Amino acid sequence: MTTEAAPRTAETVGCAGLGMLGAALAQRLADAGHLSAVWNRTPGRAPGLDAAGVRRAADPAALMRESTVLVLCVSDSAAVEEVTFGPGGLAEGADPGKVLVDHSSIGPQETRLLAARLAAETGAHWLDAPVSGGPQGAAAGKLTVLAGGSAEDFERVRPVLDAYAARRTLTGPIGAGQATKLCNQVIVGATSWALAEATLLAAASDLDYGRLPELLEGGFADSRLLHVLQPMLKPGDTSHFGSLDHLLKDLDTALRLSRSVGCPLPVTAQSAELFRLARKWSSPLRNGGIFDFLDGRPDPGAHRDGAKPAGGPPDPERPEAEEPAAGRTGAT
């Protein structure tokens, strides 16, 4: 006689971090009936959640105590460590029956260390799950999730991910999701500058450069980024889908990783330095500003729109994942 394992009851989901991406994730979870409570360092973010009946926890520890799955979305590894292990952090409310799903974009080495520490201190499980698609993709339920962790944990949280992701892939063990996301960002960083150069060349050649996505569609140069970013590459365009500071942070993370493993990334290094220069020239919230940088057009509002001066740390309240589905030109 055999007995079947009892099916797992519905998860109680909490969400920590309500920046642009985190708020969109939380709203999708609330709309799907999954979200129980949230926490954010700055109170009052995402007021629509209050109308949906979502409670606000006093601190991360309280949020973790009442959650079986905790969705985390903050800016960098320092923020992840602080929210998890700082005073009143997630670890204080964690136990072996809980899974932390980290949608932040951080380095794979840091992820492995944080996950190992959480497991050693609390027995809780960790799934690194950086995303591509940005707040717009999250709001539409079309994010791509690149996960790292155990197959069991991945399958357990799949119904949660389904609330905001159209594609979710287990890329390998803990840290593999973050490594895959860095590969994504390496491609996005180099491609962004290639698109800006191609647009500038088209303009200088008296082509209707606004038609480049149409003209190049179906060829080897076609890509999601071509159709999302290139229309913003025109003089003075102020539209955006994310902050270039977030992409630069990820490129710097990729470069640190590459040096630690002896992997040369010369094009990525050049892309990162170009973004650093452009950051002094134009606001990072203007994704098309890299065109003006190459074209020599000054932007007197380079540090407006709440942007931090060049070289400043990312704002933990504006978590990163702010990218089109092919990656970010600026996000989780």
Which DSSP symbol is given to 220? Answer: T
Q: Which residues contact residue 302 at a Cβ distance below 8 angstroms, ignoring those fewer than 6 apart?
A: 280, 281, 282, 283
Give start and end residues of each alpha helix (H) in the chain: 20-31, 48-51, 60-65, 77-85, 108-122, 134-139, 151-161, 176-204, 212-216, 224-229, 244-260, 266-281, 289-295
Q: Tell me if residue 160 falls in helix, strand or coil.
A: helix
Among candidates 300, 301, 307, which has minimal Cα distance to 285?
A: 307
If one counts every other C-beta atom within 10 angstroms of the C-beta of residue 298, the result is: 10
Whether 142 is catalytic is no
- Crossing angle of helices 244-260 and 176-204, rounded to 10°: 120
| Options 142, 181, 234, 308, the catalytic residue | 181
If one counts every other C-beta atom within 10 angstroms of the C-beta of residue 171, the result is: 20
The tokens of 255 are what? Answer: 């470069």
Which residues are known catalytic residues? 181
